[in-house]
Amino acid sequence: MKTLLLVAALLATSAASAQTASSDAALAKRLNQLMRDPAAPETEVRAVLDGCHFTQVIRKYRSAGQQNEAVVFQVSHQKNGADWAVKSDDKVEFELKLGVEWSQVTSLTYAPALDEKTNRRYFEVKIKRERTAKNGSGTNSTTLELPLYTSDEAVARDLVRQLEQVRRRCAG
């Protein structure tokens, strides 16, 4: 009987885990659709939800004539639940990755914004991470800003609500 209960509990946990991964993938897909700036097709902004870690990737691809000018470099840093990386190669002119652990995120907000080049309104989601220094001498903070190219506030509010659910689930 105990074995049967253990198997049932493991199956339920596995099903819940699969459902969470599926909803996280759907959320990331929706974010990625809305972060795509139609005015800048050579630039990609993506969100990656990997368990309790959030990564924002900003990538600008080289145009056809730039391959000969490529400078290859890669630098990265990972410490205390936050990470960043910068790289360039023959296909990518510039790539920046910023990551945070959801357990260290202290606030999720959104606000209207204006693209001054196109005079187009959109929303910006801000993910703020704060961490107290180990010696207690202060705090370290990081803010990720995600553009949402929509003028519909309900869409921005719903995405922030879903991100908040992920944050709470990961905060334990």
3-state SS, 46-109, equals EEEEECCEEEEEEEEECCHHHHHHCCCEEEEEEECCEEEEEEECCCEEEEEEEEEEHHHEEEEE
Give 3 or 120, the one with higher predicted confidence.
Answer: 120
User: pLDDT tens for residues 18-70?
Assistant: 456 778 999 999 999 999 998 888 899 999 999 999 999 999 988 876 656 66
Which whole number is the average pLDDT over 133-152? Answer: 85
Q: Which of 121, 97, 124 is nearest to 31 (CA)?
A: 124
C-beta atoms surrounding 104 within 10 Å = 20
10 pLDDT tier (thresholds 50, 70, 90)? very low
Query: What is the pLDDT at residue 138?
Result: 74
